[in-house]
Amino acid sequence: MLRNEKGLTLLEVLAASVILSLVVLMFLNISSFSLMSNKNDELRVNALRLAEQKLNEYRSTYAAAVPVLQNWVDINLNPLDPASPYSVYVQQSGVQNQTFSTAAFATRKFVSLQSIVLFKDTSTVPATLVPRVMTVTVYWGVAN
């Protein structure tokens, strides 16, 4: 019988390989979650950029006269990219009676930006500025 044996038994090697494989599997799971999270963050940042662009576009377009209070879907999102995953929904309301609804896109991912836009009311003399709350919501994903 040898008493000063150096080395590892088969059971020790098997236990070490099981522990090492569990650690590797955990890192793979974390990295796949990180990649998915990065994709969602990228979609959210692009949606926020699009919402800001559309809000500025509407602010410059509709500041000429007081529009009728209405809601609409923007169909001219990005003519250069018809495969864009985004849709834009615009809501207007008075400052005193704000009516913001997420019912049209509640089951999707979305970002919203609001701004108070001053419209020039040319029907009065002198022309007065009428404030309106304009909400631009960009949504994407599949409705559940």
The pLDDT value recorded for residue 18 is: 94
How many helices (H) and strands (E) in the chain?
A: 1, 4
CA 97 to each of CA 27, 52, 111, 113, 136: distance values in angstroms, whole numbers, following the listed order? 51, 23, 22, 17, 17
Q: Write out pLDDT tens, residues 51-90.
A: 999 888 877 766 555 555 566 666 555 544 667 788 888 8
pTM: 0.64
- Calpha distance 91→54 (Å, rounded): 12
Beta-carbon count within 10 A of 64 CB = 10
The pLDDT value recorded for residue 80 is: 47
Asked if 53 contacts 88 with a C-beta cutoff of 8 angstroms, the reply is: no
The pLDDT value recorded for residue 144 is: 60
In the predicted model, residues of the chain with pLDDT beneath 70 are 1-5, 61-82, 143-144
What DSSP character marks residue 80?
T
The pLDDT value recorded for residue 79 is: 45
- Calpha distance 134→98 (Å, rounded): 10
The pLDDT value recorded for residue 101 is: 73
What DSSP character marks residue 72?
E
The pLDDT value recorded for residue 24 is: 92
